Amino acid sequence: PKIVRRLFRQIVLGVQYMHSCGYAHLDLSLENVLISLPRGATDLSDAEVKIIDFGMALKHANVDSKKLRWRGKPYSMAPELYHGTGIDAKAADLYSLGVILFAIATGGPAYLEVDDKAFKYVWMGRQGIEKLLDMWQKSVDPDALDLICKLMCRVEDRYTMFNLLQHRYLRTPDD
C-alpha cells in the first residue's frame, strides 16, 4: 500500500542523511524506527518516521571488518556482518533496509537467524523470496519485491544508496 511506500521512503531518506554525514547505523530494524503522529492525526498518512538508537553507529571512513562483526540484530543484520566478513558499513545498512521493507510489506521478518531455513530462501534471490512468500501466502507489491531482492542479496550485487533512491518503488508518488 501507499503508506508502506511513504514510511519506507522516509526511513531511506533518514539513512541517506546519516550516510551523507559519514555515519552508518549498523542496527537498522523496525525496533529502531519510531512513527510519530502530529497531534490530532487519525491515520498514518500524516506520520513522520524517526530513526533511533545510534549505539552501534560508526563513522564509516574508519571502519574495519573486525568492528563490523555482530552489530545489530541477527534477523536484520547483513549476512557479511553475521559471518564477520563485513567491510562496507553503508552496504550493511542497505541490506537492513531490505529487511525493514520486507517486514512492513508482509507483516513480519523474512527470517529470525541467518541459519534459519527461511534465510536460505532469501539467499537464493528473487525465486527463493517469491517461494517463501508463496509458502507463507503473502503478497507484496511487485516494485517493492524487486527492491527487496536488490537489497537483500550478496554485498557485491546490492544496490547502492544512489540506486535505491532511483528505484521506481521510491519514485512512485504516494497519491
163: its cell numbers: 540506486
Q: Report the C-alpha gap between 69 and 82 in whole angstroms.
A: 6
From the list 144, 94, 151, the residue with the least C-alpha distance to 122 is: 151
Catalytic residue (one of 27, 46, 143, 157): 27
Active site residue 27: yes
* Burial tier of 108 (Cβ tally within 10 Å: 0-12, 13-18, 19+): middle
Grid look-up 530513526 returns 51
Catalytic residues, which ones?
Answer: 27
